[in-house]
Amino acid sequence: MKRKITLKQIARELDVSISTVSKALRNSPEISADTKQKVQAFAKLYNYRPNNIALSLKNRKTNTIGIIIPEIVHHFFSKVIRGVELVANKRGYNVIIGLSNESFSKEVINMEMLANGSIDGFILSISKETLQLQDYHHFNETMSQGMPIVMFDRVVSDINCDKVIVNDFGGAKSAVEKLITNGCKSIALITTKDYVSVGKLRTQGYMDALNDAGFELESELILKLDDKLDYEVHLDALENEIEHLFKSNKSVDGVFAVNELYALSAMKVARKLGLEIPKDIQVIGFTDGVLSKHSTPSLTTVSQHAQVMGEKAADLLINRLETEHNENEDETYQTVVIETDLIERKSTK
């Protein structure tokens, strides 16, 4: 087992100084052709590569991006990562990931871990617990130490930094407008409790669309579900709530759900109650998932372009990292809004 070779070893082996080796390898005109030739051949033979860690220390630049997300087993987030990774690699950066698992303390710990020199900047989406606690000190501290942050999707206006968000309001609104255009007269909303900003915005889009169309807003048609009912676990409870909604509002002929799972559950319950999709009831989900395409019937969705979000976030961060910022130049941050697309499938007419 041969350890990785260093400049020092090459220097000793060829009986020259370390700096000569360094210069020869970087093709410095200071060095004679002879020596260059000799050193480069030797280096190639032993497959010399400069040590990243030493370079990072010297340059005070790691060329690594830290990404903190609440959950990786989630189509939306993994697509964002793919986008980040794509751009980062293209521009010479690595990506290191930290999972907050929706927990405030894990978010804080992970960020502290990475902020101590391991990375040049963060791309992150805030955990639910942090949003509930509204404790953002760790973001401010990180930034005040000169480490830039780009937030995506789950952002808060309290923090001053670059952001990439989806047009949640507009996407939701146009989805509901689609249902209205398709003839729906009584449209239900299945959403989450309000503390996650994106949920709130989507709810507003729903309301605005109804309002514009001159519909009455009926609070019984709005189902606000607890987040604990998310994902795999309490599928039954989820379906029960939806079933109750349908049963007490028999006229419902359209459903807008703020995520894929809610939309699928709605379809499942509808089928169970003997309703035909899209004849009797039409469904649209806000999502970036895989389920929609393969469900029966396939689900019409509002696409969030997660990968584009990741790419954009990475570009924003790297641009900021590589732009010379004078000390007393007042930093101006931008918020990029990604427009959604309505992908029409078989759950709407």
Partner DNA sequence: TTGTACGCGTTATCAT
Partner DNA sequence: ATGATAACGCGTACAA
Q: Helices marked H in the chain — which ranges? A: 7-14, 18-25, 33-45, 52-59, 75-90, 104-115, 128-133, 137-144, 168-181, 197-212, 235-248, 260-272, 291-294, 306-322
CA-CA distance, 84 to 89, in Å (whole number)? 8
Pairing of strands 300-303, 341-343: antiparallel
Identified binder of its own copies from the candidate list 23, 75, 193, 200, rule CB under 8 A: 75
Q: Residue 283 and residue 301: Cα distance in Å, rounded?
A: 9
41 contacts its own copies (rule: CB under 8 A): no
Q: Which two tokens stand for residue 37?
A: 């030739």
Where is 80: in which H helix or E strand?
A: helix 75-90
**Site stretch for DNA (CB under 7 A), options 15-23, 243-251, 268-276, 289-297:** 15-23
Distance CA 222, CA 251 (A): 14
Separation of alpha carbons 82 and 307, rounded Å: 6
Answer yes or no whether residue 62 interacts with its own copies by CB under 8 A: yes
Q: Footprint of DNA on residues 283-312 (CB under 7 A)? A: none
Is residue 118 part of the contact set for its own copies (CB under 8 A)? yes
Q: Which residues contact 47 (CB under 8 A, 6 or more apart)?
A: 5
Question: Closest CB to its own copies among 200 and 271?
Answer: 271
* Total interface residues for its own copies by CB under 8 A: 55
Shortest approach of DNA to residue 13 CB, angstroms? 12
Q: Closest distance between its own copies and the C-beta of residue 290, in Å?
A: 6
Residue 329 burial by Cβ neighbours in a 10 Å radius (0-12, 13-18, 19+): exposed
| Residue found by looking up tokens 């009455």 in the block | 216
Decide: is 43 part of the binding site for DNA (CB under 7 A).
Answer: no
Cα–Cα distance measured from residue 93 to residue 73, given in angstroms and rounded to the nearest whole number:
23
- Contact segment (CB under 7 A) with DNA among 46-54, 139-147, 148-156, 285-293 equals 46-54
The pattern of x and - marking residues 136 through 155 that bind its own copies according to CB under 8 A reads: -----x--xxx---------
Q: From 14-22, 113-121, 161-169, 211-219, give the range in contact with its own copies by CB under 8 A.
A: 113-121
Beta bridge partners of residue 151, listed in sequence order: 124, 163
Q: Closest distance between its own copies and the C-beta of residue 173, in Å?
A: 27
As separate numbers, helices (DSSP H) first and strands (DSSP E) second, the chain gives: 14, 12
Give the nearest distance from C-beta 14 to DNA in angstroms.
Answer: 9
| Using rule CB under 7 A, residue 61 touches DNA | no
Nearer to its own copies, 30 or 135 (CB): 135
Q: Does 118 bind DNA (CB under 7 A)?
A: no
Angle 104-115/137-144 helices, nearest 10 degrees?
A: 10
* Peptide bond preceding 297 in cis form (omega within 30 of 0): yes
Q: Please give the Cα distance from 118 to 32 (Å, whole number).
A: 38
- If the CB atoms of residues 44 and 250 are measured against DNA, the closer one turns out to be 44
* Residue 8 or 250 having the CB closest to its own copies: 8
Footprint on this chain of its own copies (rule: CB under 8 A):
1-4, 47, 49-54, 56-57, 62, 64, 72-75, 78-79, 81-82, 85, 89, 94-99, 110, 112-118, 141, 144-146, 232, 261, 264, 268, 271, 289-291, 293-296
Footprint on this chain of DNA (rule: CB under 7 A):
6-8, 15-20, 22-23, 25-26, 29-32, 34-35, 48-51, 54-55, 57-58, 60
